[in-house]
Amino acid sequence: MPLTVITGAASGIGAATRLALHAAGHAVIGVDLRDAEVSADLSTAQGRAAAADALLTRCGGRLDHLVLCAGLGPHVEPASRVLAVNYFGAVQLLDALLPALRGGNQPSAVVVSSVASTQLDWDRNPLATVLDAGDEAAAQAVLQAAGERAGQLAYAASKNALTVAVRRRAAAWGAAGVRLNSVAPGAVETPLLQAGLADPRYGPAIESFKAPIPRRARSAEIAAVIAFLLGPQASYVHGAQLLVDGGVDAAARPTRF
C-alpha cells in the first residue's frame, strides 16, 4: 500500500486528492491546520519544521508520494502569509521530505501551483531575488511596499517562484530517483475560491476570470491529474507543469509555451 503525504488535506483540492488516492489504495497522512493527522501552520518557520519532523516520524523515514496542496489566495491577510504558505511552506517540505522519498517505492511528488504562475515571467517577478535567497523578511518588505497590490503580488509571485523551484530541482531529484512535477489549475470550485469571490477587492476579477471551457473546474478534476502524475502511467513525466485551466493559458499566450 503506497504511503502518501498530502498538505492542505482538509478541504478543496487536497481533500479531493485524498479521496482519489484512498480509492486507489493509498494510505494517506494529511497535513492541515485542523482535521488532519498532522496539525501544522505552514505560514511559520516553526510550523513547517514541526510538520516535517512529525511527518518523518509518522512515515518512519520512508515515503512513497508527496502532494503539496496547501495554499492561500490573494484575499488572505496579511499578504506575507500567502507568500509564506504558498512558497516557503511548499519548498521547505519538499526539501525536508526528499530523503524519505528516496527510500520509497517508485517515489514521486506533485506540487499544486497555479495558472497564475505563467502570467508573471521570472525575470519580471519583483520577489524573485529574495525568494531565491530564502529571505522571508525581505520578501515581507517588498509586499509592504506594494500597498493595495500586496495580495495579488504575493499570490502570483509565490506561484511563479514555486513552479521555478520545482523545475530547478528536476536534475537533483531525477538523480535521486524521485519524480517531481507540478499542476497549474485555473479557477476551481473550492472554499478558498468562494472566500475570494466574497472579497470586494478581488471578487469582481475572480468572477470575470473565464476559461475557454466556460465553467470552473471541480476539485476532483485536479485530483485526477495529480493521481495520474503520481502513478506508473506517468513514469517518464518529470520536471513538468501540467496546466489544468480549461484553456486559459493557451488563450492568453498561444505562442508561448
pLDDT confidence of 257, banded at 50, 70, 90?
confident
Give the model confidence (pLDDT) of 197-224 as tens digits: 888 888 888 888 889 999 999 999 999 9
Query: In CATH terms, is domain 3-246 a member of 3.40.50.720?
Result: yes
Cell 469582481 belongs to: 204
pTM for the full predicted model: 0.96
DSSP labels, 192-220: HHHHHHT-TTTHHHHHH---SSSSPEEHH
On whether the CB atoms of residues 37 and 157 are closer than 8 A, the answer is no
Q: Alpha-carbon distance 187 to 171, whole Å?
A: 31
Instruction: State yes or no: is 87 an active-site residue.
Output: no
Per-residue confidence (pLDDT) for residue 204, from 0 to 100: 87
- Stretch 68-73: mean pLDDT, rounded? 97
Q: Which amino acid is at 13?
A: I
Indicate the average pLDDT of the chain: 96
C-alpha cell, 19:
479521496
